[in-house]
Chain A
Amino acid sequence: MLELQNGTVVFLPGTVNERVALNNVSFTLKDGDFVTVIGSNGAGKSTLLNAVSGAYPLTSGRVLLDGKDITRLPEHKRARYIGRLFQDPLKGTAPNMTIEENLGLAYGRGRRRGLSAGVKKADRELFRELLKDLDLGLEDRMKTKVGLLSGGQRQALTLLMATIVTPSLLLLDEHTAALDPKTSRQIMSLTDRIVKEHEITTLMVTHNIQNALEYGNKTLVLSQGRLILTLEGSERDHMTVEALMRLYSANAADALSDRMIL
């Protein structure tokens, strides 16, 4: 369970460039919730994820994960419980290390890193099975350096790495936005499958309203750092992209950009 209580992030406080990126946002994700987040550029979507992951500190407010206050925990310590995918597919993997080494590192999440083998024999079998599930042929290339893979393959691998030890929370930061439409769809359905299979509590930021309504069970709409709408239940089930656009312009000061309709 994730709880954000009055989350506020202010950049450059006390200067002329002061900007409130996240303004008193509160919400709760119940266990197994798959929540999508939309909003126009600068609405605070990425700031929200960064505040939850610990990349940016909250200026005020609290973050609670499974009832524990993690507001003051540094990013790498939160990462024991939080899996994360970035928009840039290159950001989630170490390019000069092999596929199995990357998976080996991810598999050690939350454990003390000692002098035990980085990739154990038994692990290798597990990795092979999991890679086979991705259906990208990566199971036969486990000794290949990750830098040689395509963006889509790397993002699929990152998804596997983020969930190989089931996290308490999965953060997806427009993780299909940098991929071509076909690969983007593949990664999105793969994400949906893995999230459902392991019932992972997930927070997904997206530019794609269609995706935001299609996947998950709840949608948050942000505008200029504020949470202006929460869609769930039958209201969300009957929501269309057009209706959401109308609802948005009635509630927000700015308009959703055109590219979000796509």
Chain B
Amino acid sequence: MSLIILTDGLRLGLIYAIMALGIFISFRILNIPDLTVDGSFTLGMAVFAVFAMDGRPFLGLLLAPLAGLAAGCVTGLLLTKLKVQPILAGILTMTGLYSINLLVMKESPNISLFNSGTVFSLAETILPGFLKPYVNFLFPALVLAALTLLLLLFLRTQLGMSLRATGDNEAMVRASSISADRMKILGLALANALVSFSGAMMAQYQEFADISFGIGMVVVGLASIIIGEAFLGRRSIVCNVLAAILGSVLYQIVISLVFSTGLNTLFMKLLSAVILTVALAVPLVKDAVKKGKSGRAAVKRGEPNDA
């Protein structure tokens, strides 16, 4: 029983990890909390679902990230050309995307894919026999590994380094003849392409798309990143990327465990908000405890007669 919960959490974690990579780009590399995510995740689901219904799931997987790319560009343009505050720029795109997503889904709030051929079933036909039962795990794992590798390679290129420096020190970037505006647009576009792709994979895995599925996704992604960093730290770029993946898997396993106890799933969003709050609070509490301890120790040292 618990093994099923564990593998289920792992599978979900691998798919959400793609989104976490995207949020890592906007939140950690560019230092921009990008709320576009809630809309672009659903956008990926929606685009995938309509193509999957037509029996072309692979085309859907290809076009979903392109749609996310466009959404990220919109947020980037609002942020740089119109100087809208980062949070507000994301909210504007996210809000607009709600209508667009409904439009993509042909005005139906959810699409079922139960009878459509899935990418998984197609991937299954390629796999050798003994691996076939693991297709639901292997396919997302391979996709994630490939994307992670590509992202890590990209971050070492001139363009990738320019992107990283933009979040690190904008004045230095401009002084190095790099357009900080262009880097922000590029980063947000890439981030949301990954998020949309993750949405498409999720639609495939769950075999449905839902207009409200993306609500709170940014919270899930941020929590994953912060949880991962609690285990791996933030020593290097490789470490940070792996932390996002690890955090995502851990997060989903915890969620699966919690709801396996029979807790009403309506608490899902509340739980994700609480988890992120705790993850944000832990370093502060740790610090306070450390200070408190050393403070008390100093007091003790000052009172030799004590104890």
Answer whether residue B3 sits at the interface, using C-beta atoms and an 8 A cutoff: no
A117 within 8 A of B: yes
In the complex the two chains form, is A93's CB within 8 Å of B177's CB? Answer: no
Asked if A86 CB lies within 8 Å of chain B CBs, one says yes
Q: Are B176 and A115 interface neighbours, CB within 8 A?
A: no
A228 contacts partner chain B, Cβ-Cβ < 8 Å: no
Tell me which of A3-11, A77-85, A187-195, A204-212 binds B: A77-85
Q: Given the complex of chains A and B, what is the CA–CA distance between A66 and B52 in angstroms? A: 59
Check B168 against A108 for contact (C-beta < 8 Å).
no
Closest B residue to A74 by beta carbon equals B179
In the complex, whether B156 has a CB less than 8 A from a CB of chain A is: yes
In whole angstroms, how far apart are the Cα atoms of A97 and B237 in the complex? 9
Q: Bound state CA distance, A104 and B161, in angstroms?
A: 9
- Contact of A198 with B by CB under 8 A: no
The residue from A76, A93, A95, A96 contacting B178, defined by CB atoms under 8 A apart:
A76
- Secondary structure dominating the interface of A: loop
Nearest CB in chain A to that of B163: its residue: A113
Q: Which of B158, B165, B174 has the most CB of A within 10 A?
A: B158
Judging by beta carbons under 8 Å apart, are B174 and A105 in contact? no
How many residues in A have their beta carbons less than 8 Å from beta carbons of B? 36
Q: Is the CB of A113 within 8 A of B175?
A: no
Q: Which of B156-199 contact A (CB under 8 A)?
A: 156-162, 164-165, 168-169, 171-180
Q: When chains A and B are docked, how far (Å) is the Cα of A54 from the Cα of B278?
A: 45
Which residue of B158, B174, B175 contacts A104 across the interface (Cβ within 8 Å)? B158
B154 interface hit (Cβ, 8 Å): yes
In this complex, how many residues of chain B approach chain A with their Cβ under 8 Å: the count is: 22
Contacts of B168 on A, CB cut-off 8 Å? Answer: 94-97
**Is the Cβ of B162 less than 8 Å from the Cβ of A105?**
yes
Contact between B178 and A113, CB atoms less than 8 A apart: yes
**Residue numbers in B under 8 Å from A174 (CB-CB):** none
Minimum CB distance partner of A75 in chain B: B174
Contact status of A117 and B171, CB under 8 A, knowing A97-B161, A105-B162, A110-B177: no
Chain A residue at minimum C-beta to C-beta distance from B177: A79
Q: Chain B residues near A111: list those with CB within 8 A.
A: 158
A115 and B179 in contact, given A92-B172, A94-B168 (Cβ under 8 angstroms): no
Chain A min CB distance to B150 (Å): 11
| Complex contact A109–B176 (CB within 8 A) | yes
Separation in Å of the B152 CB from the closest CB of chain A? 12
In the bound complex, CA of A94 to CA of B165 (Å) = 6
Given contacts A79-B177, A80-B177, contact A113 B158 (CB under 8 A): yes
A118 touches B156 (CB 8 A): yes
* Residue of A whose beta carbon sits closest to that of B164: A97
Kindly name the residue among B164, B169, B176 whose own CB sees the greatest number of chain A CB atoms within 10 A.
B176
Are A95 and B169 in contact, CB atoms less than 8 angstroms apart?
A: yes
For B169, the closest partner residue in chain A by CB is A94
Docked-complex contact A117 and B156, CB < 8 angstroms: yes
- Knowing A94-B165, A95-B168, A105-B162 touch, does A115 contact B177 (C-beta < 8 A)? no
Tell me the smallest distance from the CB of A175 to a CB of chain B, in Å. Answer: 12
| Bound-complex Cα distance A18 to B172 (A) | 30
B158 near A116: Cβ-Cβ < 8 Å: yes
Give A238 Cβ to nearest chain B Cβ, in Å: 37
Query: Shortest Cβ distance from B253 into chain A, in angstroms?
Result: 30
> A118–B158 contact, CB under 8 A?
yes
Q: Once the chains are docked, how many angstroms separate the CA of A86 from the CA of B180?
A: 18
Contacts of B164 in A (CB 8 A): 94, 96-97, 101
Contacts known (A101-B161, A105-B165, A115-B159); A94 close to B172, Cβ less than 8 A: yes
What is the chain A residue whose CB lies nearest that of B29? Answer: A96
- Set B158, B169, B171: member contacting A108, Cβ < 8 A: B158
Other-chain residue from B157, B176, B178 in contact with A117 (beta carbon distance below 8 A): B157
Interface centre among A75, A106, A113 (most CB of B within 10 A): A113
Chain A residue numbers with a CB within 8 Å of B171 are: 86, 91-92
Instruction: Please determine whether A118 and B177 come into contact, CB atoms closer than 8 angstroms.
Output: no
Contact with A along B131-164 (1 / 0, CB 8 A): 0000000000000000000000010111111101
Chain B residues with CB under 8 A of A108: 158, 162, 176
30 CB < 8 A contacts A-B: A75-B174, A76-B174, A76-B177, A76-B179, A79-B176, A83-B175, A84-B175, A91-B171, A93-B169, A94-B172, A95-B168, A95-B169, A96-B164, A96-B168, A97-B161, A97-B165, A104-B158, A104-B161, A108-B158, A109-B177, A111-B158, A113-B158, A113-B178, A114-B159, A115-B157, A116-B157, A117-B157, A118-B157, A118-B161, A119-B156
Q: Beyond A79-B177, A111-B158, A118-B157: 15 further Cβ-contacts under 8 Å? A: A76-B173, A76-B179, A79-B178, A83-B175, A91-B172, A96-B164, A97-B168, A101-B161, A105-B178, A108-B158, A108-B176, A109-B176, A115-B157, A118-B156, A162-B175
The 9 closest A-B CB pairs, nearest first, are A94-B168, A79-B177, A118-B161, A94-B165, A80-B177, A113-B158, A76-B174, A94-B169, A115-B157
